[in-house]
Structure 1
Amino acid sequence: MKKRYKIIILLIIILLIGALITLYFTFKVNRFNNNIHESVDKKEKVKATQQKLKHHKPISIALFGVDSNAKRSKENLGQRTDTLLIASVNPEKEKTYLMSIPRDTYSKISGTNEHEKIAHAYAYGGPKKAINTIEDNFDIPIDSYMTMDMDGFKQVIDSIGGIKVKSLNTFNYNGSSFKKNRVEKMNGKKALDYVRSRKEVGSDGDEGRTKRQRQIIQKVVDEVSKERNISTINKIINAGENNVKTSFTVGDIKTLYFDYKPATNHIGKLKLKGENLVEEDGLWYFEPDDKDKKDKREMYLDNLK
């Protein structure tokens, strides 16, 4: 009887610990949802997106990396998109297309008569203005968005213990050195240096930077999707809740994580061709090639069918 009593006590303790862990993560998830969720769409569009997710239909997502870290926020320097990608995610075809849009792309800012660098749209009106500008200039629908600032980028990578990366270029930036084809494990700070450089010798300008951005995003997606350790998942949640804004709810993110994972089996990268030009205002802009822009658009849209 004494042994049986000890077993019952042990089971009660295990169940209690399990309940406390569940309660803790429920609280964390609810807080996480409140901190990161920021819808910019009308209710009709939100419902349409959630129906797509419910039935595992293809979805189009805008991904913004903004230069609004703690230092910039403190000094009221505003937000501009340092990284701008759109992703067509199709779980049935097991394919995702990532299209990088150069931050200097010459674009008409939605709701204005002004033509400026597309990166400025976010500064003028946040994700809503940026999404509308993408839709207007590329004729591509966007269902949802995710925004991460520079602090978040570093913290997420540090939370998963860094990532192994094979450098695509040889250059130095912000105290970090990179050598082409060298494989190394990068922490958050070094990974951020790797994707930010564009003017340094050997970094290959905007073209090189967009390639490295796609490379790092794919690496992070691969590592996070494999993660099972509760402690690490908790660190990812902590990194995300203070540095991410998205129109997705936590429920939506859960659906993406579990039901859209096949879409990461094949990730295609779409790079816009074009040329750098000096416009009337004396600034440099990237002007996409019309035919290439049309071809890339069709490939992107085909993955949404």
Structure 2
Amino acid sequence: MKEKDIFKLVRYGFAIVQSIITLLFLYYLAKLDVLPQKYFFLAVGVLVVLCVLNVVLQFKKIPGIIMLVIGIIISIGLGIACIYIAKTTDVMNKTAGADEQIDKMLVYVLADDEAKSLGDAADYTYGILSSKGREATDKTIEEINKTINKEIAIKEYDDFFSMIDGLYNGDVKAIILNEAYIDVIIETEGYEDFKDKVKELLMTEVKSKVEWYEQDDDSSIKLNSDVFTLYISGIDTYGSVAKTSRSDVNIIAVVNTKTKQILLVSTPRDYYVPLSISNGVKDKLTHAGLYGINCSKDTLSMIYDLDIQYYFRLNFDGFIKIIDKLGGVTVHSDYAFTTRSGHYNIQVGDNKLNGKEALAFARERYALADGDRQRGRDQMEVIKAVINEMASSKLLYNYTDIMDAISDCFQTSMPKDMIQSLVKMQINDMKKWNIVSCSADGTGTRSSTYSIPQRDNLWVMIPDESTIEHAKELIQQVIDGKIISE
């Protein structure tokens, strides 16, 4: 075979490769389903024409070589795009339509107990909570019974401190405890050394379904087809974003897709309000997360008399990976302070931070005069900084790693097709969004809570009803299609 014939075959081969990569790209693009039809069909038309031209022009030497070079460049670009689109689709599948939460359940005995396994503790009496998180507790008991092939004896307690005291004084020899309660326990005076006094015999994950939203006709604020509501929950814990945990960030987003307006209503974590499960007994809003994300969502619904349709959950611990892959973020601080965690020095103004430094910055409240209020503002500052970096070219350098990190620290109950529709709408009109925020406020005091009834000196915030009413007025204005600026 002559050299020119071999070269011609190579050119035809590359033309076929371009066609295959083009078809693969269009398949992934259709599967992602975020482009409006007019743009999708335009992309199909342009790419098909380029493929046909590449094949046809191979009959002519010079134009064929030019199209070959162009085809190779296009193929490389489309190949990279296929990888990015496939990864984006995978992340969307993992994070959208979430309906599962995880309770990490632990079995503890005293640190000096001779038992080293569940079998050794088969004849023990186990302390359990009588009502709080009972479904996860019952499933854990079932697992224990199955493991030791007998039913364990149990003793019920109204709260976890009474249960721990029962373990300490010998009323029970083992307890079943949700890991979500641990931070609350060790932050309470007299129980700081709890983890040193016990040892773990079992750790198991109990998965359960989060109930889907159902319209509540009793709410005074009525939604319409142009508006949806979203509860944004920020947790600060290690492990899965689906794990039951206190919620440190509690924001309601009211989104009007017609007027392109978003209202963000922030509620302090220490807000002293009845929880949806507490029968009128007041507790810190952050403690609602101990009983599942729906408890937090429903409690906020009660505060603002508003149906909240979906939730979006983010884990600040997962931000470490994202921030480091982005090469750090720049955050603005209103104050100079040293973080408790890591002892990082934060200066007034802009600070370039890596993942651990940014997490410490977002966590800090004790070094700040405005405490939890300022922490909430700093957490939003970190979120905005991450978004700004991801909107830059840095995202492309470590795209797949960043997407993996995103799937680990984000979760939403919004259906995938709704997210796709919102993206299509934005691409179609490219209009800017008007984002407005407001915060509920209150007065600090000390009191007992539903979760910790035997302690009457916990720091809580008594709601300022005027700030709640103001937020409700703004919510109604957004729903009515009015443009607000404050």
Query: What pairs with 1:1-305 in structure 2 (closer than 5 Å)?
Result: 1-37=60-96, 38-39=98-99, 40=210, 42=212, 57-70=226-239, 78-113=244-279, 114-125=281-292, 127-173=293-339, 174=341, 175-180=343-348, 182-200=349-367, 202-225=368-391, 230-231=396-397, 233-257=399-423, 259=425, 262=431, 264=433, 266-280=434-448, 281-282=455-456, 283-305=458-480
CA distance in 1, matches of 2:68, 2:399: 30
| Closer/same/farther in 2, CA of residues 132 and 28 from structure 1, 3 Å limit | same
Unaligned ranges ≥5, structure 2: 1-59, 100-209, 216-222, 449-454, 481-486
- Cα RMSD over matched residues? 3.2
Residue 48 of structure 1: aligned partner:
none
Instruction: Report 1 or 2 for greater relative contact order, CA contacts < 8 Å, sequence distance ≥ 6.
Output: 1
SS in 2 for 1:81: coil
Deviations 1:131-182 (A, max 9, x none): 11211222122232211112322233334443332211221112211233x2
Letter in 1 for 2:345: S
- Partner Cα separation in structure 1 for residue 363 and residue 401 of structure 2: 24
Task: Using structure 2 for the length normalisation, give the TM-score.
Answer: 0.52
Q: Deviations over 1:229-251 (max 9, x none)?
A: 54455444222111211113455
Q: Provide closer, same or farther for how the CA distance between residues 168 and 100 of structure 1 changes in structure 2, counting only shifts above 3 A.
A: same
Q: What is the Cα deviation at residue 275 of structure 1?
A: 0.7
CA 4–263 in structure 1, closer or farther in 2 if over 3 Å, else same: closer
Q: Tell me the SS of whatever aligns to 2:378.
A: helix
TM-score (norm 1): 0.79
Q: Contact conserved, 2:317 with 2:359, CA < 8 A, in 1?
A: no
- In the aligned structure 1, how far is the partner of 2:441 from the partner of 2:213? 36
Question: For residues 242 and 291 of structure 1, do their structure 2 counterparts lie closer, same or farther at Cα, with a shift above 3 Å needed?
Answer: same
Q: Match of 2:86, as an amino acid? A: F
1:204-255 CA distance string (max 9 Å, x none): 2112112222333334444445669544554442221112111134554454
**Where do 4+ consecutive residues of structure 1 move more than 6 Å?**
none
Partners of 2:360 and 2:250 in 1: how far apart? 17
Instruction: Note closer, same or farther for the CA distance 1:100–1:80 as it changes in structure 2 (3 Å cut).
Output: same
| Alpha-carbon distance between aligned partners in 2 of 1:116 and 1:154, rounded to the nearest angstrom | 31
Taking the aligned partners of 1:252 and 1:232, their CA distance within structure 2 comes to: 27
Name the CA shift for 1:148/1:177 in 2 (closer, same or farther; >3 Å). same
Deviation string for 1:247-305 (max 9, x for gaps)? 134554454456457564x4323122211121244122111111221112211332233
Find the residue that maps to 2:479 and give its secondary structure.
coil
Structure of larger gyration radius = 2
Report the 3-state secondary structure (helix = DSSP H, G, I; strand = E; otherwise coil) of the residue aligned with 1:103: coil
Q: 1:91 to 1:203 in 2, by over 3 A?
A: farther
Q: Matched residues, percent identical?
A: 26
Unaligned runs of 5+ in 1: 46-51
**1:194 Cα offset (Å):** 1.8
- Aligned partners of 2:244 and 2:291 also within 8 Å: no
Aligned AA (1:102): P
**Which amino acid letter does the alignment assign opposite residue 32 of structure 1?**
V
| Count of aligned positions | 288
Between the aligned partners of 1:158 and 1:108, the Cα distance in structure 2 is 40
Alpha-carbon displacement from aligned partner over 1:102-156 (angstroms, at most 9, x marks no partner): 111112222332432111222212x222211211222122232211112322233
- Distance in 1 (CA, whole Å) between partners of 2:420 and 2:334 is 33
